[in-house]
A and B are shown apart, each in its own frame.
Chain A
């Protein structure tokens, strides 16, 4: 007898990876890139995209060979109970950190542009509460949410960028590599953080219908977001110069804010940007949230996948951590810390792979 199959298709995996990469970066990337004074951030993004695709392709064979298990399971099998526990806890905390960062950025943006008088705690709490409801629904339904939101985001965003193209001046992004290679490479750490997000593949592989396609899906997913970021950066810098992008907090919104297309029903488009970005930010956060949820379920050995206590505890924890930073500068400081945490997180599969390789050499390997 056949059974109904609720697993992710190739397209859903691709969208999920790609969509988790695109979040807060849409609004803050141009400023981070402009801080070094080099207008060639878009090239750096492309370069980093390639680097990350290579890194991912290096560790994916390990996950693919053990496609029935999430990295959380692999950790505790290979590294033993204690070290596995520490690794899992680290990944979970990292995921929760990402969630809080994204939620806080959303709270700041909504408070700044949409709801000036509403306390941020309300905004953030509603955001996290709705997200927790989604998290309870499982990976498959979350992937469907992604597939629903992502195309709308892409279409509206690309449309807005096209509208702003008439402010675009090629001179603003020329000369390429202005300030020499040193200035170009000083961009490297600034834009690195925007690639965090693809680590959701750590838990995604077992949910795929055909795990053989995972490499293609992840590579194409990262490539899509890289292209998206690169175009955004190119157009925003090309429209408002590096000097201006450096001074405003949310350059992308400012750009769309300045845009007026008379003759259409609504002349201003920042509303569209904020609505789609809110939805996109939500989707982006959801992947990490589910990652933390799966990880914690694994750590506490919970039988019930939707343990209400765990979900409530996660909601409370994320809410308080989100409200912890005092102001936006604080938030960006913690963001930088998360960037370093991200670099450590992507070494974990290599570490575990290495351990399992050693175990196989000495004949105690339990994995392929």
Chain B
């Protein structure tokens, strides 16, 4: 329906459709010599009233408008320098008003003006709580898209940084932004990202996690194939490696595609600290992943199948500690691992100070008591605790889940088939990982299959001065980092 030139008519129709909302404001005033009537429509709270008064109402009232009939485009000239657009139908008004814009309708004009006066309450920039680094910028993304893109621009003043915006969500119309560096990111990845984003057809995107699940390659795999981060510096370094980042309005978590397994294991401060300690830390992390997955399974298979392979004295001491335990090793291990998962989940939801108490209760009281009550052996408590500790060293929370799931799988197959079961689970997982793709690129590339220069930044990281090329696994257009 077109906007009528009679203001009262317009307001009547609008009040019929929008008037049921109590936060909808119809502010009527008069302007010009002829005291023409005008009305401002806005949502209280979404729009900054001060801005309306200062930039919309007062310039209008200062002008002496002589003749009554002029077009809405002429009126628009009064607000030079203030972002606004012309609207001509009722439907447009409805859409714009709910997205936070203020609409000006004036008597005698066939059309209205929409002012971008949106102001949303946000929190201030803060240190990201989910990704703590020892050294590096203490700033994280917030819930406002515009601030997040500005943070990216501020860090990367490369003119080739492209930030493309689009709206997703049939009903809620969430803004999302796709960021990439034009002459680094391979165009087939960028195209693929846009293709998948366009295929999303959902009413609401509450968080980037929802979007992640809609556009990922392998929804049925336990491994995440998209990286999410709160840190602008991490997004920046990923963009410079030729990746694409997707930011969603309303969440501080940005998505980074394509992702490789290594990305989940590396942390941004691997690069800001010196290379020798950080290489050792990386080795520690990679071995802790092996421990997380295999230690309980190996223990179970050694104790219940291959006791002959242990050194004699060790076998005797294990047998001694298991003497009064009534359960088979699998049940024993499962009880402890289940308890640890309980403690972890309980500690996660509680406020921080209580969360720590839970850990203490769980670790000391249950562990100690379980051993004394001879439900589990002391050695099993050690094995499970080391396993849990090792799993905490993985920097990415999302990457923790697959490791914990595989661990249970290894335990079950170790109970059934001993060492052979463990190695078969290993081969199966390897096969699965090798099949995974993330946006057309490999999810994991074994060391021997990579070109030599990529090895500089994998399990170890060599000095920064030798990192002259970008890693080829992301297939960058321009691969020179340093000359």
Contacts and interface: CB of A to CB of B under 8 A. Distances in A.
B97 interface: no
B428 A130 contact: yes
A130 B431 contact: yes
B449 A12 contact: yes
A143 B311 CA distance: 37
Nearest to A282: B427
A79 interface: no
Given A114-B306, A147-B449, A267 B431 contact: no
Given A3-B188, A141-B435, A151 B423 contact: no
A8 B427 CA distance: 21
Contacts of B188: 1-4
Contacts of B441: 4
Given A144-B449, A151-B447, A278 B430 contact: no
Interface residues of B, number: 36
B440 interface: yes
* Interface secondary structure of A, over-half rule: helix
A246 to B, nearest CB: 26
Given A1-B187, A115-B305, A266-B310, A144 B419 contact: no
A276 to B, nearest CB: 9
B442 to A, nearest CB: 8
Nearest to A271: B309
Contacts of A12: 448-449
A141 B431 contact: yes
A90 to B, nearest CB: 28
Contacts of A279: 423, 426-427
A299 to B, nearest CB: 25
Contacts of B428: 130, 133
Nearest to A118: B417
B431 A145 contact: yes
A15 B447 CA distance: 12
A130 to B, nearest CB: 5
B431 A150 contact: no
A69 interface: no
Interface in B391-431: 417-421, 423-424, 426-428, 430-431
B451 interface: yes
A164 interface: no
Contact of A126 (B417, B426, B430, B434): B417
Contacts of A4: 186, 188-189, 440-441, 475
Contacts of B435: 137-138, 141
* Interface secondary structure of B, over-half rule: helix
Among B305, B434, B447, residue most surrounded by chain A Cβ atoms (within 10 Å): B434
Contacts of A147: 446-449
Interface string A123-152: 100110010011001100111110111110
B369 interface: no
A271 B448 contact: no
Given A137-B435, A141-B431, A148-B434, A110 B420 contact: yes
A11 B419 contact: no
B423 A278 contact: yes
Among A3, A123, A130, residue most surrounded by chain B Cβ atoms (within 10 Å): A130
Interface in A11-27: 11-12, 15
Given A4-B188, A148-B430, A151-B448, A114 B440 contact: no
A15 B420 contact: no
A213 to B, nearest CB: 14
Among A11, A141, A266, A282, residue most surrounded by chain B Cβ atoms (within 10 Å): A141
B305 A114 contact: yes
Contacts of A123: 417, 420
A344 to B, nearest CB: 31
B445 interface: yes
Interface in B456-479: 475
Interface string A234-247: 00000000000000
Size category, A interface: 35 or more
A275 interface: yes
Contacts of B475: 2, 4
Contacts of A108: none
A74 B475 CA distance: 33
A58 B419 CA distance: 44
Contact of B449 (A9, A114, A118, A134): A9
Among B186, B305, B445, B448, residue most surrounded by chain A Cβ atoms (within 10 Å): B448
A270 B309 contact: yes
B424 A126 contact: yes
Among A127, A143, A145, residue most surrounded by chain B Cβ atoms (within 10 Å): A145
A278 B420 contact: yes
Contacts of B446: 144, 147-148
B425 to A, nearest CB: 9
Interface in A251-272: 265-268, 270-271
Contacts of A270: 309
Nearest to A130: B428
B448 A15 contact: yes
Contact of A144 (B191, B417, B434, B451): B434
Contacts of B426: 279
A274 interface: yes
Given A2-B475, A130-B427, A143 B420 contact: no
A344 B448 CA distance: 33
Nearest to A134: B431
B311 A267 contact: yes
Nearest to B451: A9
Nearest to B187: A1
A138 B309 CA distance: 37
A4 B217 CA distance: 15
A133 B431 contact: yes
Contacts of B447: 147, 151
A115 B427 contact: no
A144 B191 CA distance: 26
29 contacts: A1-B187, A1-B188, A2-B186, A2-B187, A4-B440, A4-B475, A11-B448, A15-B448, A118-B417, A122-B417, A130-B427, A130-B428, A130-B431, A133-B432, A137-B431, A143-B449, A144-B434, A144-B446, A145-B427, A145-B434, A147-B448, A147-B449, A266-B311, A268-B309, A268-B311, A271-B309, A278-B423, A279-B423, A279-B426
Given A115-B420, A133-B428, A150-B448, 17 more contacts: A1-B187, A2-B475, A4-B186, A4-B441, A114-B419, A130-B427, A130-B428, A142-B434, A144-B434, A145-B431, A145-B434, A147-B447, A147-B448, A147-B449, A148-B448, A268-B309, A278-B423
